[in-house]
Each structure stands twice: as structure tokens, then as C-alpha cells.
Amino acid sequence: MKPPGHRLPLFAAAVAAITGAALLARSLLPPASPFRLPSMLRPLLRPLLGAQASKSWRRSRGIIQHAIDAIIITDERQNILQANPAAAAMFGATVDDMQGAPLDAFIPRDQRLGANPATSHYFGNTGIHLRMKGRRASDYAVTGVRRDGQHVPLEGSISSLYENGKPIYTIILRDITERKQVQEKLAQSHTQLRELSAALLTIREEERKHIARELHDDLGQLLATLRVDLALLQRQVRAPEAQNVLAGMDELLMAAITSLRRIASNLRPRALDEGGLYFALESLRQEFVSHYGIACRLHANEEELILDDAHSTAIYRIVQEALTNITRHAQASRVELSLRRVDDKLDISIQDDGRGIAAQDMDKAASYGLIGMRERVWALHGDISIVSDGGTRIMVRLPLPPRPSSANPA
């Protein structure tokens, strides 16, 4: 016969089963629904639940107190209910100084309502205002103020829970001073690299212009004079053999002059200096059609393309590089060039019907053509986007200097 104590484990198991069922039922109810444990279980569970709650509270408090990140807990009126030592160290205060103090003393309201609208969404005009479900938290940057008045850039997350029907907010903060300094140095370095790139592009264009002018004015004139002298010599020489030699020399001279013009034009298109941007683009279009047999149309107004040398050169090079990429990679049969001026901005569109461009190819380190186009656009403080939609479309928007006023003074 079993002793009477054998029923105790069964009784404990029954209590556990009933409690588990009760807690499961509670979890299925809406958060605001009233719920009470069965009266028969309360006396049995009170010591257990009380001990567990005390243990859980001590564990939570220990985690908060020893956390590396600063943790601040506030009520709905933004009064600090609890702060850990990391928070006190961050703001140059003590835990006792912070507890009971308003949050404004450490994160002023005007520092929460900065340029970032997402931050004001979470801190709001009337204090902390959250529109999140559950305990999800998001990171936002704010500025804190230490006891000595020093401003500290902070990044934190905020979450909410309800205790006795009132909201409690938990704010976790991290000092991002070093990160901000690194970001500022990177931004400064990035700006300097952009300025250096723009300066190098300008220097290269000036060198190209100078070399092209020297080739045309000096070497071109010498070759032209030599051909004139050769023509005079051909008139004086009657021997057939000598005539053949002189005719061959004339052909070589013409080939040299043609090569010289091509090299000089590649360095700096004379059409850009003699006729302006529209004439240069039209010449480029005709040469593109003639050499590669790809249909190309130019949609532009000549009067809208009367620009200074810096903008004209950059736009010409952008279009030239785009056409070069089309011949090398696009396998296109048609190209549309469009340049439209809207107020003080110029919209450029270069579209082909080729095979398009893969997303991973747009940022390749070896895509020098695309990199060159981007650098020229950024040097003029413009924007560029490249999309692949049944071909490739390059869209550029450049700010332009305002047009000179045509009104005559009275």
C-alpha cells in the first residue's frame, strides 16, 4: 500500500496544469480584457508568484544597473523614474541627481525637435509620443546636454509598456561622439576628393584645348604650307617618275593632315569653340551615325544651349562618353538625345534600345566611362541616374547660371 504522500506530486501536477491553462487563456485574450486566476489557485500560487516576481525584478534591475549603454526610464510626464550608472556618467551627474528630474534637463526639448522629422515623431511637441505597437524600438539621433553644459551627440532607441494602465518609456542611449567625428572627417575627405576630381577634369580639358590648338595652329599650318609647296613643285616637274613620287607625297601629306585634324578634334572639338554646344552635338551625332550605322536623333533648341565653356564642355563630354558606351556594350539600333532647359536647370536624356545594363555593372570599379560621367555631373553640382528599361536611359539634371537679362535699361 502506497503512503499518503504519493498524492502530492499528482496534486502539484494538477495545479501546474490548471495554472498553465489559465495563463494560456490569458494570452489569447485582448490586452485590455480583465482576467483573474481561479480563486482556488490564488493561495497556492501567491508565494510562488511573489518569489518569482521578486527574483525577476532583482534580475532586471541588475541588468539595467550593469548595462554598458545608458538606460533611462520615464513616465508619461517625462519625469525620470530610473537611470543607470552609465546614464549618470554620460551626462556627468549621479544616479540620485537624475532620478526624479525632468528629461528636459538632459535631453532638452529643442534638441529633440531638430531637422529630422522622425525624431520629432517619437519625442513630439508634448513630450515622448510613440506610435508603435508592442515593444518595437527604432534608432534616432538626438543631442544631450551634460551637467557642465557640453552638448553630446546621442543615438538611442525608445520603447514603451504599460504599468497599472499608465505608459512607461524606456530610453537606451549611446554616445556617438567618436562616430560623428569619423563621419565628419570622411565627409570632409569626400568633399576634398570631389574638388580634386573637378580640378583635375578642368586641368585636363585645358591641356587638351592647348594641345589641340598647338596642333592645329602650328603643325597644321606647317603641313598645309608643305602641301602648297608640293603642288607648286608638281607644276614644275615634267618627268613621269618624279610626278608619281610627288603624287605619293601629296597623298601622304593629306593623310597626315586628316590624322592631325582627327587627333585635334578628339582632344578638343573645334565645333565647340566655333559653333557652340548645339553645333558640336550635331556634329557628334552625324559622326556617330556615319561611323557606326546606328540611328540617332537630337532633340534640342539651339538657343537653350548657349552656355559658358565649363558647362558646354562637360555636357559635350557626357554625351560623347554615353555614345561611346553604347557602341561598345549596348548592341543598340536607335539612340535618342534630348536636352531641355527648364528655368535654370538643364535636363539631359540619353536613351538607347539596346540590351540594357545590369545593376551590378553600374558600380563596378572598372566602369571608367560611368565614373567619368558621374564626376563631371557632380563637379557641376548636378544629379545623374541610370536605369535599364528596355534599353538604357541616362538622365542628368544640371543647375545652370541664370540667363542674362535681355531688358534694355531705360
User: What's domain 67-175's architecture?
Assistant: 2-Layer Sandwich (3.30)
pLDDT score, position 343: 86
Asked whether this chain's domains 67-175 and 272-403 adopt the same fold, the reply is no
Grid cell digits, residue 92: 556627468
The DSSP output letter for 381 is T
Residue ranges covered by each domain of the chain: 10-59, 67-175, 178-268, 272-403
Give the tens place of pLDDT for each residue, 105-129.
998 877 665 445 554 444 444 344 4
CA distance 137 to 158: 5
Closest CA to 281 of 343, 323, 334, 326: 323
Closest CA to 108 of 96, 89, 91, 93: 91
Q: Which residue has the higher pLDDT, 11 or 376?
A: 376
Percent of the chain past pLDDT 70, that is, above it, reads 76
CA distance 131 to 124: 11
Query: Rounded mean pLDDT of 331-358?
Result: 92
Q: Which residue has the higher pLDDT, 27 or 372?
A: 372
Give the tens place of pLDDT for each residue, 64-75.
788 888 999 998
pTM score of the predicted model: 0.60
Query: Rounded mean pLDDT of 28-47?
Result: 52
Burial category of 50 from C-beta neighbours within 10 Å (exposed 0-12, middle 13-18, buried 19 and up): exposed
* Alpha-carbon distance values, 130 to 102, 120, 259 (Å): 18, 10, 72
**CATH superfamily placement of domain 272-403:** Histidine kinase-like ATPase, C-terminal domain (3.30.565.10)
Give the tens place of pLDDT for each residue, 377-408.
999 999 999 998 888 999 999 999 877 654 44
Query: Rounded mean pLDDT of 276-304?
Result: 94
Give the tens place of pLDDT for each residue, 225-278.
888 988 888 888 888 888 888 888 989 989 998 888 888 888 888 888 888 999
